[in-house]
């Protein structure tokens, strides 16, 4: 039998989840999920189906989307769900979309880095970005497909070639790094994870993931050894999941949660809610890299203001410096891919 304390904790958790994914306000917004049949796409679509901020949910993939759409359509929420299968139906899936989430691609397996996914996922993302440029050029694009450090520059450069690029509307979703940092800090300190907020800056792979634990709210203090170990765990948390799943996939459920959190924050801001902040990997003038994740103030047109890095500790300054070389190389890899694609006559 639950104790009163245990029941109170469960109740608080349920209220927190409901608050995150439900809202008293409604909007008429079409949201498209590209890669909706995959390990991330299905739970992501489920969480979006629950939100009154979504009136139309457009699901696209190369297989099984009609079944996923039929399944979700039986849930008694207002969002109308439509499934689209294959390249021929992609334009219709995108037309009228105001927000597009891209989790399409192959997952990591044990021994793989995010960069090992590049050759396959780069082509997938490029094809989808081209379709977005042609069919919903003004949509907010949230890129989940790894390696995000390279796929966001790919999306941006393809939109540029079409003349429809708006840096305020293209995001690399790094929210999972924040979610993990919040969870791990709460584990160590006994704080309620729903009340912890750790900004995570840089990129979305290994040492480019830089948790700003000195800026955590509420304030936390760690020894040097604990700080180093916690930072390393946050940076390698994805590998932790890949190893635990032993070949059965990568972080899908937590990534779906994080993707939905970012998408719903963006929708809130698009609907005029003030003070909405999320970290994301975007075109940036904060530091040496042309793309960088920092806290952002979101607004009706996407990025309202880049809030920058804030005051860093000496430990964090060192992490930023060490990440720059790898991050620049990943960005360049994405940009080179688009240039090579153009020379080979691929559609842009």
Q: How far is Cα 46 from Cα 72, in angstroms, rounded to an integer?
A: 7
Q: Would you give the distance in Å from CA 46 to the centre of its chain? A: 16
* 204 is known as an active-site residue: yes
- Candidate list 19, 64, 162, 204, residue with the active-site label: 204
Transcribe 68-121 into DSSP letters.
HHHHHHTSSSS-EEEEEESGGGHHHHHTT-SEEEE--SPPP-TT--GGGGHHHH
Residues 98 and 31: beta-carbon distance below 8 Å: yes
Indicate the SS3 state at residue 199: coil
Which of 103, 187, 83 is closest to 144 using CA atoms?
Answer: 103
Q: How far is Cα 117 from Cα 95, in angstroms, rounded to an integer?
A: 29
Which of 267, 114, 251, 107 is closest to 183 using CA atoms?
Answer: 251
If phi > 0 it is left, if psi is from -120 to 50 it is alpha, else beta; for residue 302 that is left
Indicate the SS3 state at residue 151: helix
Residues 289 and 322: beta-carbon distance below 8 Å: no
The phi and psi torsions of 134 (rounded to 5 degrees) equal: -85, -30
Instruction: Please identify every residue annotated as catalytic.
Output: 204
């Amino acid at each position: 039998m639950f104790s009163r304390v245990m029941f109170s904790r469960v109740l608080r958790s349920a209220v927190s989840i409901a608050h995150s994914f439900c809202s008293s306000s409604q909007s008429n917004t079409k949201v498209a999920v590209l890669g909706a049949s995959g390990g991330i796409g299905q739970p992501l679509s489920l969480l979006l189906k629950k939100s009154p901020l979504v009136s139309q949910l457009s699901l696209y993939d190369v297989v099984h989307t009609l079944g996923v759409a039929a399944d979700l359509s039986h849930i008694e929420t207002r969002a109308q769900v439509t499934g689209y299968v294959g390249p021929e139906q992609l334009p219709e899936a995108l037309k009228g979309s105001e927000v597009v989430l891209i989790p399409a691609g192959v997952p990591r397996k044990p021994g793989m880095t995010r960069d090992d996914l590049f050759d396959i996922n780069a082509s997938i993302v490029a094809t989808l970005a081209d379709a977005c440029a042609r069919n919903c050029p003004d949509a907010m694009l949230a890129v989940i497909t790894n390696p995000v450090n390279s796929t966001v520059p790919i999306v941006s450069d393809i939109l540029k070639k079409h003349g429809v690029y708006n840096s305020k509307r293209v995001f690399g979703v790094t929210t999972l790094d924040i979610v993990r940092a919040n969870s791990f800090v709460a584990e160590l300190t006994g704080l309620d994870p729903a009340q912890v907020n750790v900004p995570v800056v840089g990129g979305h792979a290994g040492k480019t993931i830089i948790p700003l634990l000195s800026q955590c709210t509420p304030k936390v203090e760690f020894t040097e050894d604990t700080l180093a170990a916690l930072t390393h765990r946050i940076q390698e948390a994805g590998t932790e999941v890949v190893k635990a799943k032993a070949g059965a996939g990568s972080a899908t459920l937590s990534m779906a949660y994080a993707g939905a959190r970012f998408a719903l924050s963006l929708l809130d801001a698009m609907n005029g809610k003030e003070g909405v902040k999320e970290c994301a990997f975007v075109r940036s003038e904060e530091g040496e890299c042309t793309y960088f994740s920092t806290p952002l103030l979101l607004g009706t047109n996407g990025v309202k203001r880049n809030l920058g890095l804030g005051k860093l500790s000496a430990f964090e300054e060192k992490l930023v410096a060490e990440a720059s070389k790898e991050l620049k190389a990943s960005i360049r890899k994405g940009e080179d891919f688009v240039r090579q694609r153009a020379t080979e006559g691929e559609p842009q």
